[in-house]
Chains A and B, each alone.
Chain A
Amino acid sequence: MIDRQRDNPFDLTKASDYSDRQIQDYWVDVASDTESLVDLLKPTSKMPMLLLGGKGSGKTHLMRYCSSSVQALRHGSVREAMRKEGYLGIYSQADGLNASRFSGKGQTEELWASVFSYSFELWLAGHLLASFRPVIEGQELESAEWNAAFAKEASAIFHGAEVDLPSSYDSFIEHLKVTRQRVDHAINNASITRRLEGVNITFNPGELVFGLPSAISKLCEFARDSVFVYLIDEVENFTEMQQRFLNSLVRYRRGNSTVKIGARLYGIKTANTLGSGEPIKRDAEYERVQLDDRLRESESKYENLARSLVQKRIESLNINVKDLNNIDALFSELDSTDYFQAAARTITAARDRAGLERPHVARFRKVLERAYSDRRFTAHIISLLVLPEHPLLEKVNLLAFYKRSSTNKDIATVAENIHDEARALLDLGSQGAPSYYELYSHFSADLLAQLSRDFGKKPTYAGFKTLIRISQGVPRNLLSLLKHIYRRSLFAGESPFQSGPISVEAQTLGVQDAAEWFWEDAQPDEYGSLVRNAVENLATLLRGVRYSDNPAECDPCTFSLNIARASENCAKALQMAENWSFIMKVSGASGAKNDDRILSKFQINPMLAARWGISASRRGVLELKSDLAEHIFSENSPSSTREAISGRLEAMNLPKTIEAILDPAGRAQQPGLFDDV
């Protein structure tokens, strides 16, 4: 049963799982005239760099793309790649060093710092020589004279204590390997003996990793103009002490080599160095690039990248696609013509046919009838607002009613005006009823989501642009979305990318699957329950607002709060949630609505939106007062948090909305249906 269509082209999502060939084949760039992704990493610049980004933002892919083995695939050989690209990428992953070994076992931290620095340099130098070896293979490497000269230069780095210094390039590689094994042996045995014996540090910190490129360049003329770039990935796996050594390398970088460090957003634990401890200085000593932020900043760049990414993956299927240049056409969108009439009627059709009153109308009727005893009056109001042919506009009518009645107590006139405006909109378009249309355009997505939910359906997430927005500048998120969508589409019997676009339903279900994956995949350490509870609480609030009868904001997925007033627990939960990309900081602070406090803005990650049916678009900003923020983000009792959230939502829902419309004497003063008003 397994066929080509079943091979999901989006299955591979982690660059660390790719082969070198896949790294090269799946590579796409932002197709910009100004700055490519490789330009962001600046491999030919000697300025060290911290390349940060959320999980799946493409750091590893970018760094591996610049590694020597992939450079060779691009240019036929590493030597040619160095000549053309001007650098040699020496890629290594921090977890390969098993960094957790360098602690405890009865030794001081100072001692471990020295041993780690020594072992780490031996490890990096091993990677350097292995990466450079193909460059000289068959040429310099075959010359005894060159080997002797290299051995002499390289050996000069070591202190006089070394008695058995190697005599050739290969024996030098072997020497580094054996020395590392000796250190490993000492470290491993220290857990039994509680002594660290047999480690003899034979060079000064930094001398090996920066000295070897100089030695090579001295002997190889062609390498003099090239930069030796140590690409050290997944540095979040290093402890603070270990990162301090890395920072020292940044500070004491010299010659024609440099260090580019890849880490997750939260992965940098310190800017301090070993020794004096003085922190390294951003922009003076190193550059800091946040990859996903950079992609988010430029929507068009990321869109280009996303489209190329999808094109490449579809191409790998070797199927006949009608127009691969028009990616958008491969994904259906909800039909918005006539104010989503078709989509909305599809939602309500079965129950309409069964003669059941629509839930939003039934709810309104119940509350209205409780507030007004005159049945003829309430029936008249309802008859003005219902719009059977346009279920979505019917929802707009009710929303307009809730909003306007709070300032105009003459509810019959309010309802009549809304009725007229809805008609005018249908007859004349937006010009016919500008303020009504404005309300529609602000809230249509939320009201459609409400309609779906009222009828037991999931809100829609569809269209390629929506997928790009949901992925938030993180290519792996996009691939994950597409992976799940493709799977859903196949299951539904569709032939994705071959016959017709992928259905809205398959996309919606795929987005939902991806949201579950995103939620489960993140493992926020010991703060797991704090963060998950906080995000659940936050989502409950945002969902509550979105599905309320009279939402305070449209498309609520952004919130603001005063960090300065947050408790330590609250701030910690926020920080951890951001580290794990459950929430994201939104650039630019804003002022509080009622005073001059400066509020920080955050957005719940749109990847998670479908989990709770909240909006993936960023429009309205919900301000969280300090006490509510504490309830949401600190570990309070679940019941008091529920109460606090309900309290915030109460005014947005029936029956409070209707109560607000009525003044205290409202019931007594209600006009009769045929009174002059």
Chain B
Amino acid sequence: MILSPPATLENEQIALWESISTKLVTLDDRVWEGRASGPGISDWLSNFDGRTGASTEVERLHALYLLSQYMYYGQREIRILLKAMYRELFLLPLVQQLHDEGVKQVDFSSRLTDELQRTRFLGVGNPSESGVHLLYFFRQENGLAKSNFLDAAQLYSTATGPVGRYRTPRHPLVKRYIFLDDLCGSGETAYRYSTDLLPDLLDTDPSVEVHYFALFASSDGLRRVREHTVFGARCGAVHELDNTYKWSDLQSRYLAALPEGISPSLLVSLAYTYGRRIWDDYPLGFDDGELLLGFSHNTPDNTLPIIWGEEDNGSGEKWCPIFKRYPKV
């Protein structure tokens, strides 16, 4: 039987294996959209072969526990989060701002419409990447018009002047640009946008607002965006991931209150030992992300590589992933 507990485990460990398996059945059925059933998990477990010093069976028991902690957001959840992103990070602050400006009740609706017409939403990354991928659902869920969206290439047009060709904002009437991303891990993407893409826009019209919103953001990444990019205070996330979401952090939520028979040091060692074999530079995920998080459309590289690593995806050695990552290449 697939995913049967190894018979050489102690009886208590077998019971724990079975109880974790039961949880995984429910997760696969209700949350993971059928992406990690028994055969897939068995293949993934076969990656662990006793390299931490613990027995293969005990390592696999710990890997199973690690998997049971994985946070997966399927299409339905992403749609709900996109709704929350629009309302909580964009609409409500805008409404508040209009109130603060003293807009009268009778004018409120038309003013809000006007503000919306002068807003453009953009995905972070090129059109094949996840930030842009979210725009379609974002538009559907929030009942927005196509005209509210742009891609980054449409930000500028090229003009010719005395000093040659130069970029000029294509939409001078637009008042605010909202950049949307699924995950802000290290803040690197937002930083690049801030330094490469947006300076000309802001130089031309310093009153233009640029915002950066992510569904999820690490506290460190968000701090970097806030302190070191043009987005400044105009950045936010629906769900901020503090250090308790880091796998091996001293405050890690995953290592607190473990069931009997699960060792925190082995959990940490497992992720590191095998992570190093997959991605030597970042055994715990890009820029030491240490996350245990994935989406239906992709698995971020800030997540532990033992989840998504595979040879075709740059792994140093043969590795069977449990949730695939589609690399940027």
Chain A: residues with CB nearer than 8 A to chain B? 1-3, 6, 349-351, 354, 455-458, 487-488, 490-493, 503, 505-506, 509, 513
Q: Which residues of chain A come closer than 8 Å to B11, judged between CB atoms? A: 455-456
Interface readout for B240-258 with A: 1 if CB under 8 Å, 0 if not?
A: 0000000000000000000
> How distant is B300 from chain A, measured CB to nearest CB, in Å?
20
Given A1-B34, A456-B15, does the pair A351, B8 have CB atoms closer than 8 Å? yes
Q: Which residues of chain A come closer than 8 Å to B97, judged between CB atoms? A: none
> How distant is A234 from chain B, measured CB to nearest CB, in Å?
29
User: With the chains together, A509 CA to B28 CA distance in Å?
Assistant: 16
Picked from B4, B25, B33, B39, the residue with its CB within 8 Å of the CB of A493 is B39
User: With the chains together, A6 CA to B29 CA distance in Å?
Assistant: 9
User: With the chains together, A582 CA to B100 CA distance in Å?
Assistant: 62
Q: Which residues of chain B come closer than 8 Å to A490, judged between CB atoms? A: 37
> How distant is B67 from chain A, measured CB to nearest CB, in Å?
13
Picked from A2, A457, A493, A505, the residue with its CB within 8 Å of the CB of B37 is A493
B9 closest partner in A (C-beta): A456
Q: Which residues of chain A come closer than 8 Å to B33, judged between CB atoms? A: 1-2
> How distant is B181 from chain A, measured CB to nearest CB, in Å?
25
Given A456-B14, A491-B28, does the pair A505, B7 have CB atoms closer than 8 Å? no
Q: Which residues of chain B come closer than 8 Å to A457, judged between CB atoms? A: 14
Are B1 and A492 within 8 A (Cβ)? yes
Count of B interface residues, CB-CB < 8 Å:
27
User: With the chains together, A455 CA to B18 CA distance in Å?
Assistant: 13
Q: Which residues of chain B come closer than 8 Å to A456, judged between CB atoms? A: 5, 7, 9-15
Q: Which residues of chain A come closer than 8 Å to B28, judged between CB atoms? A: 491
Interface residues of B in 6-61 (CB under 8 A from A): 6-15, 18, 22, 24-25, 28-29, 33-35, 37-39
Q: Which residues of chain A come closer than 8 Å to B13, judged between CB atoms? A: 456
Given A456-B15, A513-B22, does the pair A493, B38 have CB atoms closer than 8 Å? yes
Q: Is B3 close to A, CB under 8 A?
A: yes
Given A487-B25, A513-B22, does the pair A350, B37 have CB atoms closer than 8 Å? no
Are B8 and A492 within 8 A (Cβ)? no
Are B7 and A506 within 8 A (Cβ)? no
Q: Which residues of chain B come closer than 8 Å to A491, judged between CB atoms? A: 3, 24-25, 28-29, 37-38
User: With the chains together, A3 CA to B34 CA distance in Å?
Assistant: 9
Are A455 and B7 within 8 A (Cβ)? yes
> How distant is B125 from chain A, measured CB to nearest CB, in Å?
25
Q: Which residues of chain A come closer than 8 Å to B6, judged between CB atoms? A: 350
Q: Which residues of chain A come closer than 8 Å to B29, judged between CB atoms? A: 487, 491
Please report the number of residue pairs spanning A and B whose Cβ atoms sit closer than 8 angstroms. 57
User: With the chains together, A109 CA to B8 CA distance in Å?
Assistant: 68
Given A2-B33, A6-B34, A487-B25, does the pair A492, B7 have CB atoms closer than 8 Å? no
User: With the chains together, A142 CA to B7 CA distance in Å?
Assistant: 76
Picked from B1, B5, B7, B38, the residue with its CB within 8 Å of the CB of A349 is B7
Q: Which residues of chain A come closer than 8 Å to B9, judged between CB atoms? A: 456
Given A351-B8, A455-B11, A492-B3, does the pair A509, B38 have CB atoms closer than 8 Å? no
Chain B: residues with CB nearer than 8 A to chain A? 1-15, 18, 22, 24-25, 28-29, 33-35, 37-39
> How distant is A338 from chain B, measured CB to nearest CB, in Å?
21
User: With the chains together, A310 CA to B4 CA distance in Å?
Assistant: 27
> How distant is B323 from chain A, measured CB to nearest CB, in Å?
12
Picked from B1, B8, B35, the residue with its CB within 8 Å of the CB of A505 is B1
> How distant is B33 from chain A, measured CB to nearest CB, in Å?
5
Q: Which residues of chain A come closer than 8 Å to B37, judged between CB atoms? A: 490-493
> How distant is B78 from chain A, measured CB to nearest CB, in Å?
15
21 residue pairs of the A-B complex, CB under 8 angstroms, read A351-B7, A354-B8, A456-B9, A456-B11, A456-B12, A456-B13, A457-B14, A458-B18, A491-B25, A491-B28, A491-B29, A491-B37, A491-B38, A492-B3, A492-B38, A493-B39, A503-B1, A506-B1, A509-B22, A513-B22, A513-B25
Q: Which residues of chain B come closer than 8 Å to A509, judged between CB atoms? A: 18, 22, 25
Are A1 and B35 within 8 A (Cβ)? yes
Max chain B C-beta neighbours (<10 A), residue from A2, A351, A456, A487: A456
User: With the chains together, A574 CA to B5 CA distance in Å?
Assistant: 38
User: With the chains together, A1 CA to B39 CA distance in Å?
Assistant: 15
A3 closest partner in B (C-beta): B34
> How distant is B38 from chain A, measured CB to nearest CB, in Å?
5
User: With the chains together, A505 CA to B24 CA distance in Å?
Assistant: 16
> How distant is B32 from chain A, measured CB to nearest CB, in Å?
9
* Besides A492-B3, A505-B1, A505-B4, 20 other A-B contacts (C-beta < 8 A): A1-B33, A1-B34, A2-B34, A3-B34, A6-B34, A350-B7, A351-B7, A351-B8, A456-B11, A456-B15, A487-B29, A491-B24, A491-B25, A492-B37, A492-B38, A493-B2, A506-B1, A509-B25, A513-B22, A513-B25
User: With the chains together, A6 CA to B33 CA distance in Å?
Assistant: 10
Q: Which residues of chain B come closer than 8 Å to A354, judged between CB atoms? A: 8
User: With the chains together, A505 CA to B28 CA distance in Å?
Assistant: 18
Q: Which residues of chain A come closer than 8 Å to B1, judged between CB atoms? A: 492, 503, 505-506
> How distant is B43 from chain A, measured CB to nearest CB, in Å?
10
> How distant is B146 from chain A, measured CB to nearest CB, in Å?
29
User: With the chains together, A457 CA to B10 CA distance in Å?
Assistant: 11
User: With the chains together, A11 CA to B14 CA distance in Å?
Assistant: 29
> How distant is B321 from chain A, measured CB to nearest CB, in Å?
15
User: With the chains together, A503 CA to B2 CA distance in Å?
Assistant: 10
